[in-house]
Amino acid sequence: MKIFDNIIREIKAHVDLKKAIIPHKTCMASETFSWPESGRAEIVLLPDLAVELGSPDDASVSFLTWTQDASLIIDDQVTIIGPDINQTQKSKLPFGKIVMLEVSGFDETNAFDRNRELFLSKFDIALKGFMIKSASQYMAEWCRISKEAVQNNFSLELLGNALIKEYKKFDYVKSVEIVFMTSSVDDVNELFLMGNRTVRMIRAMSKMVNEMRYDCTECEYQDVCNDADVLKTLRRSLVKLG
């Protein structure tokens, strides 16, 4: 399926523009990555808190995209636009996170469920000193990092490594590329429209398949369907079957 291919190209172009004007770091995930696990969902309380990412007082945008075109994904690459956790003295940073995956075997019958499975997998990461809360309806993530973790040099590079390792546990995930953005509230908020389109596209596809309703005049997803050839093609094929 090519449902997100154009959005991934937009993301790549946007990231390149930001990299041209903002200090950044690009690194490759290491198979030797190691960080102590908490053994359960970690809780970082205020007395132990060092840094917050994407708190309610700041900007936070987090979303996931996928493609079956291997050429669109640089496997194991982590890009950090703005300061890493170990490069700032601030206690709060805005937080943008984009996950781009190369996948296989996705079609209209399984894409929504697999997308949901991938979304939930981030909660399986149990890193000592790292806590995550998610508000999926707002595409937001709020993370806390403990003082001890910061003292031991916890970083977004390490977080990216852990995420890549987690996503690759799924046999249908072939490559993973991640972008973090901490540079400014405005920079993070600029990611929202691209992310919102991905969410609406997958919901539109799910509605077509599961509700079997094809009257576009009554559908709240007209805007994304008109922009996505794959959704228009899917609608036509379902109408014929119906």
Q: By 3-state DSSP, what share of the chain in percent is helix, strand and coil, each rounded to 5?
A: 45, 25, 30
If you average pLDDT over every residue of the chain, what do you get? 86
Looking at the structure, tell me whether residues 28 and 65 fall in a common domain. yes
Given 192, 207, 229, which residue is the final one in a domain?
192
* Burial tier of 25 (Cβ tally within 10 Å: 0-12, 13-18, 19+): middle
The residue length of the chain stands at: 242
Looking at the structure, tell me whether residues 150 and 182 fall in a common domain. yes
* DSSP-derived pairing of the beta strands 92-93 and 77-81: unpaired
Looking at the structure, tell me whether residues 77 and 152 fall in a common domain. yes
pLDDT score, position 31: 74
Mean pLDDT confidence for 81-103: 95
Terminal alpha carbon distance of the chain: 21
Looking at the structure, tell me whether residues 176 and 231 fall in a common domain. no
Given 192, 207, 233, which residue is the final one in a domain?
192
Looking at the structure, tell me whether residues 214 and 168 fall in a common domain. no
- Spell out the alpha helix ranges (H) of the chain: 5-21, 111-120, 147-151, 156-167, 185-189, 192-211, 222-227, 229-241
Residue ranges making up the domain that contains 51: 5-192
Q: What's the CA gap between 10 and 46, in Å, rounded?
A: 38
In total, how many domains does the chain have? 2
Confidence of residue 33 (pLDDT cuts 50, 70, 90): confident
Of 105-109, 132-136, 138-142, 150-154, give the lowest mean pLDDT range: 132-136
Looking at the structure, tell me whether residues 11 and 96 fall in a common domain. yes
Looking at the structure, tell me whether residues 16 and 80 fall in a common domain. yes
pLDDT score, position 86: 86
Confidence of residue 40 (pLDDT cuts 50, 70, 90): confident
pLDDT score, position 216: 56
Looking at the structure, tell me whether residues 182 and 93 fall in a common domain. yes
Looking at the structure, tell me whether residues 33 and 144 fall in a common domain. yes
Looking at the structure, tell me whether residues 102 and 208 fall in a common domain. no
Looking at the structure, tell me whether residues 143 and 204 fall in a common domain. no
Q: What's the CA gap between 230 and 65, in Å, rounded?
A: 15
Q: Higher model confidence: residue 78 or residue 204?
A: 78
* Pick from 144, 140, 114, 122: nearest CA to 131: 144
Mean pLDDT confidence for 174-203: 93
Q: What's the CA gap between 83 and 86, in Å, rounded?
A: 8
Looking at the structure, tell me whether residues 86 and 23 fall in a common domain. yes
pTM: 0.87
pLDDT score, position 200: 84
Q: Per-residue pLDDT for 89 more than 70? A: yes
